[in-house]
Structure 1
């Protein structure tokens, strides 16, 4: 019996199956607001959506134009998507004739200055968030920061830890999540292969910079990388060459926190050349490789809900891992939610597989190999006969490796579905053809559509808008979302009124607490 089979058998009784049906999930969906003509909407964050600083369901990411829609934790997949849908519906009814851009790579943006940086008011915390984004703009450019994604938050009930590990104390739970994270990173290429949906981009995104990738020009003028799955996850997307030498280990909370705290203090000669101030105004938080911990790009993060003023690493050190955040998902242009129900079900199976497989300790060699595989798949994952590095000096066909994963996922799906239905098995059936036929992946489908038609993404945006305007709320009523918007504005005003000391003193206290 393999380790996977042994672990799965521990979840095969009634208690284990109940635990498998009690997974916690949350979604954070990003989307640019665009005008009916397909251009970026540059107006401020709409007042009717509340305060972007304090609204728990609707905020902004890098830009005033880049919405972020956030659900709470749901143990029901349908409940999760209903909540996300109600937030979409409310937003669609409160942005006039604007639409949500349904793709990760941005629409046409002429100049970097056309992207308005997100504003969060006069409070110290709000000013810090805006200054951090000004630093991102100076470091990487506003266009790159306008890329949208979907983040998937995932947690396991204590009953599952007890069934699997025999204990559910926080030390056991944290170790289990890092076990999952190590396997996730080893297999992370699976997600852009299946769910990557950004094989094309608007030429305006490149901003006349030189690229080594061999793009083809589609009849519409879009640039396409023929075998790509996710340009969002490539060096053209979220990239920071300064971070390439950071070594963040995923063997334990202690190692991870130690490495993160070390990384946050490392100076950058390149970013120092940008300067800390311009015209007497600060233009970045500091000149280190990372301004704050959130600037570290990672495909997956261990998370703990932080107290006010607490850094992510301090929260982890205080109370251990609460959940994990998957950050590799492109926006699904075919799904009004930005993610489909069957994708959520497959994510459950993928993450449970990462938990049940044996998970060796993380080494620099592991990190380099997994990164090479990931980079290969995002730029040419649909290339026929593609093989990836597997083990020491060996290679395995992508289709064979993924087929083996699907076989394990079917065994997990059978346990979750039990006699109550076939939801997970049907989701697998829907995606099984993608294993051997890359044209069935999201990137294959959207590339085919963009090759055939002149402006299909805009048509999808209009279709999604009609979908939301015609539907009815199910979980979050219009009145409840209006109430949260109003209360969030009150919370922001209260923050601004009660603060004391200068902004510089606030920053000094924040960074001193991170030492």
Structure 2
């Protein structure tokens, strides 16, 4: 079956292939000159975090999120992301944009200011949702940063692909089914991304103060996982017990949205005990397993652009899957923008092969094995003898990784022949070069540890040095006058739009929230 889909794809001509549509959402903390999380508000010089199309905040007032528009080329997307970084770096004064996924120095939950979005009802809803995350899980894990990669294929591809398969569904349903086909294989192979791109093997001691853990001490102020690739995606990162009961089904759109809908409407006793208010203040949206869909943590999500005040599952049910969001990427601390060109091109290749390979539905037993593989690579991926479970048998991780990279070679050659370049073969070679050489891994997590050892610095000091280096480079590059003017205009417009939203609201927030929950 895998060969037949690959064979069908080879019936495309170069003139049929319009490439990928792509975008990035990149998070990062603002920190003060001493490497402590910034206590200052989101800079007004960056516009409104509620309405700015490129610059917003994630969980914390100090956690910036930079968003690119959709591009059809990796270089165009990365140049846009770099321009946004250049603009942000202009406005930070003596603060620094933290380069790593695991945070700077913290002093418990009170040191992490929750993001504010103004007095409009939609702004208050965003803030209350984050208050809910605080009372449910604490603020510490919400200070972790990452990069989300969004990818889709244009309708011209889907129309040709549907024609080649002789499929008679509506285009909307066909696309959704095919994206879930891709997602199932992503779940089978996502451990490889944690090996190739995991870059958070160490953390500042303040992150685990008064927390039980099994990390090793790197120095007086740094802990690390001896074989870990990504502490961000491990037990110290994004996880919670309530969500473990969800059993979210990734086999098809209808069961996916139904499961999420049930979670949003299923009370959870521990959250009921907290309640939704503390005095007159709202402290969570509801007392269900999930407040909203975005609370569900997963390495990948099917997505659809929402209208204002529309819920994600409403958009998916109404208009189908538009793109997929890869959410498991650590920030690359060696890159000024947190991601790199070879990484993005490899992700395109990897995700396309997920679509073109056989993808049977995932049963409960396989689901558990896939989760175990993922967790094992996150925690022990630099252990050369780590075994993974594949098709009911145990196989060495290095062998499994090499075989997955080998299978991408013909596809890389085909895409390069259509574009007349070498981008995909170059990206694939960059990943092959991370495989062990004389027993030494060259994956980012190993590079981070070696760089820290060579510098004689702990996590906080080393990341601060890298962050300052990136800041200096980006400030020296600057922006062209037209790009500077474009960003200045977006900043001004976003502040105006927030004021307009606040002036237009007449409904009390409690009534607004009730309507939102009932919609």
- Under a length normalisation based on structure 1, what TM-score does the superposition of the two structures give? 0.95
> Compared with structure 1, are the counterparts of its residues 261 and 476 closer, same or farther at alpha carbon in structure 2 (3 Å cutoff)?
farther
C-alpha distance in 1, partners of 2:342/2:251? 31
> Compared with structure 1, are the counterparts of its residues 220 and 340 closer, same or farther at alpha carbon in structure 2 (3 Å cutoff)?
farther
Residue 4 of structure 1 is aligned with which of 2, 7, 10? 2
C-alpha distance in 2, partners of 1:143/1:36? 21
C-alpha distance in 2, partners of 1:307/1:100? 31
Kindly indicate whether the alpha-carbon contact (under 8 Å) linking 1:108 and 1:204 is maintained by their aligned counterparts in 2: yes
Residue 209 of structure 1 is aligned with which of 211, 228, 242? 211
User: How do residues 217-366 of structure 1 correspond to structure 2 at under 5 angstroms?
Assistant: 217-219=217-219, 221-366=221-366
Shift of 1:9: 2.9
Residue 101 of structure 2 is aligned with which of 104, 110, 114? 104
Kindly indicate whether the alpha-carbon contact (under 8 Å) linking 1:7 and 1:164 is maintained by their aligned counterparts in 2: no
Kindly indicate whether the alpha-carbon contact (under 8 Å) linking 1:228 and 1:379 is maintained by their aligned counterparts in 2: yes
Shift of 1:474: 6.5
Shift of 1:473: 3.4
Q: Does residue 1:507 correspond to 2:513, yes or no?
A: yes
Q: Does residue 1:397 correspond to 2:396, yes or no?
A: yes
Deviations 1:152-211 (A, max 9, x none): 000011232233332681111111000000100111111111100011111111130222
C-alpha distance in 2, partners of 1:314/1:370? 29
Kindly indicate whether the alpha-carbon contact (under 8 Å) linking 1:334 and 1:460 is maintained by their aligned counterparts in 2: yes
> Compared with structure 1, are the counterparts of its residues 18 and 341 closer, same or farther at alpha carbon in structure 2 (3 Å cutoff)?
farther
Kindly indicate whether the alpha-carbon contact (under 8 Å) linking 2:233 and 2:378 is maintained by their aligned counterparts in 1: yes
The answer for the alignment partner of 1:28 in structure 2 is 25
C-alpha distance in 2, partners of 1:19/1:373? 37
3-state SS of the aligned residue for 2:441?
A: helix
C-alpha distance in 1, partners of 2:499/2:428? 48
The two structures, once aligned, show a CA RMSD in angstroms of 1.6
The answer for the alignment partner of 2:371 in structure 1 is 371
Shift of 1:21: 4.9
User: How do residues 489-504 of structure 1 correspond to structure 2 at under 5 angstroms?
Assistant: 489-504=495-510
Runs of 4+ in structure 1 off by over 6 angstroms are none
3-state SS of the aligned residue for 2:388?
A: strand
C-alpha distance in 2, partners of 1:476/1:323? 31
| Greater Cα offset, 429-438 or 238-247 | 429-438
> Compared with structure 1, are the counterparts of its residues 377 and 70 closer, same or farther at alpha carbon in structure 2 (3 Å cutoff)?
same
The answer for the alignment partner of 2:409 in structure 1 is 410
3-state SS of the aligned residue for 1:27?
A: strand
C-alpha distance in 2, partners of 1:20/1:406? 23
The answer for the alignment partner of 2:195 in structure 1 is 193
Equivalenced residue count is 507
**Structure 2: segments with no counterpart, 5+ residues:** none
The answer for the alignment partner of 1:66 in structure 2 is 63
Kindly indicate whether the alpha-carbon contact (under 8 Å) linking 1:86 and 1:474 is maintained by their aligned counterparts in 2: no
